[in-house]
Structure 1
Amino acid sequence: MSKEAFYESLTQQALALVSDETNQIANMANISALLFMSLEDINWAGFYILESPQQMVLGPFQGKPACVRIEVGKGVCGTAVAEDTTQLVTDVHQFPGHIACDAASNSEVVVVVKKQGNAIAVLDIDSPTVGRFDEQDKQGLEKLVHSIEKYL
């Protein structure tokens, strides 16, 4: 199966999980579980939720325990919010200010989740493999997030 077809199928599964539920936490929990179960070679999948314009707090996730709070503008997740753009990081050790919640993580992709045009959270996915994520992963995950945003 091509990556495009894989992410299309994953998006449809995500929509089926969240479309009848209005609770943000429940929907984020199911999306985290779906991604952790479906994506190969990852060690963390979950959300950080904006608690204030300056800070995010850990949301539903799958993987090892994680950093609880991240300042906007700090690390890969905080940079995604500050720059309002997806971060695709081939090697986190080369990313200035990377926050190492799990020393096993070597690459990362972070997609901004929006409600009415404003960031409300980020979807963060980590891998122990350098270069795990590529442009197709980025585009597939952005499409998935955009498809489910109204349920988060």
Structure 2
Amino acid sequence: MQTVTKESHGIVFFDGECNFCNGWVKFIYRRDRQGVFKFASLQSPAAQRILLQFNHRLERIDSIVLVEEGKYYTESTAVLRILKRLDGPIKYVYFFKIIPASFRDRAYQLFAKKRYAYFGRRYECELPSKELRERFVDCED
């Protein structure tokens, strides 16, 4: 079992069937020149293995999950922590952390509930480019 340590990269777990989520991964990748983040779809064996360490059940997950420095984050907190570590002015969106998580997460949940209707769904995970694939946790196994 792969363990996540403080020295590990952050790992972004996303819904591999969601078109918006796949676009979000590409967005992160293009703005992560330092290679801070690795990726895995929530449907992958890597997600099962790693998130099990946090007793995180994947049966009804409807959120992005970020694992970094031995902790995991979901919903708006995960998004803000990711944006904070990206290159460029997008990192300043982290300022929205001052809004209570209950409000931020409610907005996140409303969007997540409609994401397939807005952006569509695929029933097979998209095959990323070779460069992006090297940043996937699944590809290291």
Same structural fold, with TM-score higher than 0.5 when normalized by the shorter chain: no
More strand by share: 1
Q: Which has the higher contact order (CA 8 A, sep 6+)?
A: 2
* TM-score (normalised: structure 1): 0.32
